[in-house]
Structure 1
Amino acid sequence: MASRSTSERETDLCAPVRDYLTAQGYTVRSEVHNCDVVAVKGEDVIVVELKRALNLALIVQAAERQRITDSVYVAVPRPSNMRVWNRQTKGAQHILRRLEIGLVLVSTRAGRPAVDVLFHPLPFQRQKRKSRHRAVISEVHNRTADFNEGGSCRRKLVTAYRESAIRIACCLCERGPMSPKDLRALGTGDKTLSILRGNVYSWFERVSHGVYALTSTGAKELSAYPELVEHYTGLLLTSEASCRETPPGSAP
């Protein structure tokens, strides 16, 4: 979860943390009932767990200490490069906030020990972002089937957008150059024109006013999605067969 970037021992973190809490009027003791540092002021109890790196083991340990008190912190050495460290530990910090566990950075430089409370164990506001919530629902509904494998990496995902582009490409491959209106009549959807104009994958080209064709790149890329090509080509063939069986103007 986070790489170890310092050579400090866990015991090196104890004195600065102890002095910091003592200065705030707490009685501080180390190694109390398996807790690294415990600070008490009246009925107020703070537990601080010390580790050389911010990792899953430390987070689990801190979560266990919440059985003792709500005021639990984890303390790790202050990194030399905060920007890189914040980027590397962004996920871990988010988990700490969700678990309502505080985070302390400790500098142990000779003669200048310092404690910096990055955040306190405050109640976490679990608010869903409505835009993301809607986007996830829309993405699920706009995919006709599950063409991806969960957990896969380094492979092109079939998003709803890509699936629509593949359907358009299949139509152009089978029928030749077409207008967006004719493509929509084949079921390519309301976003057909924007997909053709945007041409994100360089699959399409405009060959005349309002008419688009499949590029050589698009034709080549279709081979990477045999399951989808078979599906959409099958829909086209079914549609053509239906039209042949029911001529215009025939009695029902």
Structure 2
Amino acid sequence: MNTKLKENDLYLPIKGFLSSLGYEVKGEIKDCDIVAVKDDSMVIIELKLSINITLLLQAVERFTLADTVYIAVPKQCTIYKKQAKQVKKLIARLGLGLIIVDMQKEQQYVEVVSDPKDYTPRKNRRRQKALLKEFSSRQGDTQKGGSTRREAGLTAYRQRCIRVAEYLSKQPNAKGAEIKKAIDEPQATQFLGSNYYGWFNKVERGIYQLSEKGADELPQWREKMNQVTKE
């Protein structure tokens, strides 16, 4: 985006657009960048060169003055170019409208991307189901909120694999069906086959034993499991 571009460069293109729709338009009225009035309808538009928290807070505050509020940014705005879909969702969720101004050298083009409206995001039922499944399956509160994936703790999946590893730590080897029955773990065979953590070795078809890696790591995870059950 041209670094010489200023916020007030957006004003005239938007004023021209709104005027063509029959609005009377004025700038900088009581700290509002643009106020447009048509009959009994009033619209407030806040201008920025980029979409940031300052702009969003400013725009939401304008709801104390008008029911219809837009934010306007250049189409060349970096965050909009990279994350247009997420930006539009966020702005809609706040009940705001979005105007994009394509600042070409010879001509500026105004596009109303979305009008303000009540927004109810469509639920992703598959992800919601997976979220609730993990929540209900996990034993205790095993990981601090804000931890990175690298710091991942005792997910429900790991907890279940630990139980399988615990069983194999007391047996030279075993079949998945045997473990399934012994510890009441319906996916024991799948855990052994996928071997996500590298804890299991396949001895022969259908028979597994605890790997060296599993034997080395099991004590520390067992301790974490014990800490959870004590909390």
TM-score normalised to structure 2 length: 0.85
Given that residues 27 and 34 in structure 2 are in contact (C-alpha distance below 8 angstroms), is that contact kept between their aligned partners in structure 1? yes
- 2:199 equivalent in structure 1: 203
Instruction: Measure how far apart 1:223 and its partner are.
Output: 5.6
Equivalent residue of 1:205, what SS?
strand
| Alignment partner of 1:58 is 2:55 | yes
Instruction: Measure how far apart 1:188 and its partner are.
Output: 5.3
Match of 1:217 among 213, 218, 222: 213
- 1:68 equivalent in structure 2: 65
Deviates more, 1:36-45 or 1:155-164: 155-164
| Alignment partner of 1:102 is 2:97 | yes
Given that residues 80 and 87 in structure 2 are in contact (C-alpha distance below 8 angstroms), is that contact kept between their aligned partners in structure 1? no
Instruction: Measure how far apart 1:169 and its partner are.
Output: 1.8
Instruction: Measure how far apart 1:231 and its partner are.
Output: 6.9
- Cα distance change on mapping 1:227 and 1:89 into 2, 3 Å: farther
- Cα distance change on mapping 1:59 and 1:225 into 2, 3 Å: same
Alignment of 1:182-201 (within 5 A): 182-187=178-183, 189-201=185-197
- The alignment's C-alpha RMSD in Å is 2.5
Listed one character per residue, the Cα deviations across residues 134-184 of structure 1 (whole Å, up to 9, x for unaligned) are 322221111112221111123134321122122212222232311223322
Looking at structure 2, the residues matched to 89 and 188 of structure 1 have their Cα atoms a distance apart, in angstroms, of 48
- Cα distance change on mapping 1:117 and 1:145 into 2, 3 Å: same
Deviates more, 1:220-229 or 1:41-50: 220-229
- 2:40 equivalent in structure 1: 43
- Cα distance change on mapping 1:157 and 1:87 into 2, 3 Å: farther
Given that residues 164 and 188 in structure 1 are in contact (C-alpha distance below 8 angstroms), is that contact kept between their aligned partners in structure 2? no
Given that residues 55 and 92 in structure 1 are in contact (C-alpha distance below 8 angstroms), is that contact kept between their aligned partners in structure 2? no
Match of 2:15 among 2, 18, 27: 18
Aligned length, in residue pairs? 226
TM-score normalised to structure 1 length: 0.79
Deviates more, 1:187-196 or 1:219-228: 219-228
Given that residues 170 and 229 in structure 1 are in contact (C-alpha distance below 8 angstroms), is that contact kept between their aligned partners in structure 2? no
Looking at structure 2, the residues matched to 68 and 105 of structure 1 have their Cα atoms a distance apart, in angstroms, of 23
- 1:248 equivalent in structure 2: none
Match of 2:88 among 62, 73, 93: 93
Equivalent residue of 1:131, what SS?
helix
Given that residues 162 and 222 in structure 2 are in contact (C-alpha distance below 8 angstroms), is that contact kept between their aligned partners in structure 1? no
- Cα distance change on mapping 1:186 and 1:6 into 2, 3 Å: farther
| Alignment partner of 1:172 is 2:172 | no
Instruction: Measure how far apart 1:124 and its partner are.
Output: 0.9
- Cα distance change on mapping 1:6 and 1:220 into 2, 3 Å: farther
Looking at structure 2, the residues matched to 45 and 80 of structure 1 have their Cα atoms a distance apart, in angstroms, of 27
- Cα distance change on mapping 1:96 and 1:216 into 2, 3 Å: same
Equivalent residue of 1:175, what SS?
coil
- 1:181 equivalent in structure 2: 177
Equivalent residue of 1:66, what SS?
helix
Equivalent residue of 1:168, what SS?
helix
Deviates more, 1:204-213 or 1:39-48: 204-213
Q: What percentage of residue pairs aligned between the two structures are identical? A: 32
Structure 1 unaligned regions, length at least 5: 233-252
